[in-house]
Amino acid sequence: MGQIGIGILGGGYMGKAHSVAMAAVGAVFNTKLRPKLEMICTARPETATQYQQAYGFARSTTDWRILVNDPKVEAIVIATPQATHLDIARAAFALGKPVFCEKPMGATLDEAREMTALAQAAQVANMVGYNYIRTPASQYARQLVADGVIGDITWFRGEHCEDFLADPAKPATWRTVDRANGTMGDLAPHMINAALALIGPIKSLIAEIETVHHQREGGEVDNDDHGQMMCRFENGAMGQMYFSRISHGRKMGYTYEITGTKGAIRFDQEDQNALWLYKAQGPEAQRGFIKILTGPAHPDYLPFCLGPGHGTGYQDQIIIEARDFLRAIETSLPIWPRFSDGLAVQAVIDAAFSSNQSKNWALVARK
């Protein structure tokens, strides 16, 4: 059992989540590599010291270059705004250090392409942070689809809707500035990633993207509030997706429905420990969706809890990500989702913006 020095860039919402995950992953999954919280980097000296002490890091800094170049930092977790991802990844890969990067990888499709090329050239572990698809329920849904339990897939509907900016009286923040921070850069990548994981590549789409509240206290809003698309998957299935940060009442509205020739699947992240399955078999009077409560028989549930139906939570998804990242480093084998998978998500988002501008169907770039 060996140790590996971890450096985390960003100490807020996701920085804390990854710090807690790295502190817990060894005990939860009995990993062969045990993370050592070596250094954390934040923008301000007071928060750097605060997070260092709160999360248990050996050191802290306000300069990401110091963290990346430190010889005791052997693997990097990027949990900073999208605009910073490329420079950090470029420096880390140049030193041959594995990189875990929060979604979306880059601020643009071209940045994501460069990051993917850098990762491939460095030949080190690289992963993108798509945590919601790692719930035991969604992992099980992927198994059911892959095993053909609901037959050939004909249709997919997905949403990622929240209401944190539904109130137009809420002030302008960093979330309301820059296209990369809008709904298509913030929420849409999660559901697009789910669609790609569950159904497969998207061939073409038509999309509408809109700003509803153009003015907020403190400034103008220059990115999108919500967006919708119809799409055609490469396997022939039809799809619909909707993304919103202004959907009143939705707190974690990451939901999807999959229809096949032999049945269907439904999932709602607000009830993340349940999966609904319909099988088109048996007497018609006895047919209907059944609610499956996750338990030790489902992927990655048992390390957290012995009791069926007791459930896992948001932080557990991040711990599963940490396990996968450590495994990728340990085995030198590619583990999903790699940077190339993150690039596929950004290609869909780029096609959506192109479609919104042209008001026509757009082909999704093949990386």
pLDDT per residue over 251-281, tens digit each? 999 999 999 999 999 999 999 999 999 999 9
Asked if 106 and 81 touch (Cβ cutoff 8 Å), the reply is: no
Distance (Å, rounded) from C-alpha 313 to C-alpha 221? Answer: 33
133-312+344-358: which CATH architecture? 2-Layer Sandwich (3.30)
Rounded to an integer, what distance in angstroms lies between the CA atom of residue 355 and that of residue 84? Answer: 27
Query: Helix or strand or coil: residue 101?
Result: strand
Which pLDDT tens digit goes with each residue over 36-46? 999 999 999 99
Strands 59-61 and 126-129 turn out to be unpaired
Identify the residue whose tokens are 């669609």: 195
Sheet containing 263-268: order of strands: 290-293, 274-279, 263-268, 253-260, 153-161, 238-244, 226-233, 202-210, 362-363
DSSP labels for 105-139? SSSSHHHHHHHHHHHHHHTS-EEEE--GGGSHHHH
pLDDT of residue 125: 98
Ranges of the chain with pLDDT below 50: none
Tokens of 47: 């928060």
Q: How many residues does the chain have?
A: 367
- Class assignment of domain 2-132? alpha beta
Question: What is the CA angle 129-57-89, rounded to 5?
Answer: 40
Percent of the chain with pLDDT over 70: 100
pLDDT for position 238: 98
Alpha carbons 294 and 147: distance in angstroms, whole number: 18
The predicted structure's pLDDT at residue 366: 85
pLDDT for the residue 1: 67
Cite the DSSP H helix spans in the chain: 13-29, 45-55, 64-69, 85-94, 109-122, 136-146, 183-186, 188-198, 314-331, 339-358
What are the structural domain ranges in the chain? 2-132, 133-312+344-358
Residues 184, 186, 188, CA angle at the centre, nearest 5°?
50
pTM given for the model = 0.96
From first CA to last CA, the distance across the chain in angstroms is 38
Pair type for strands 33-41 and 59-61: parallel
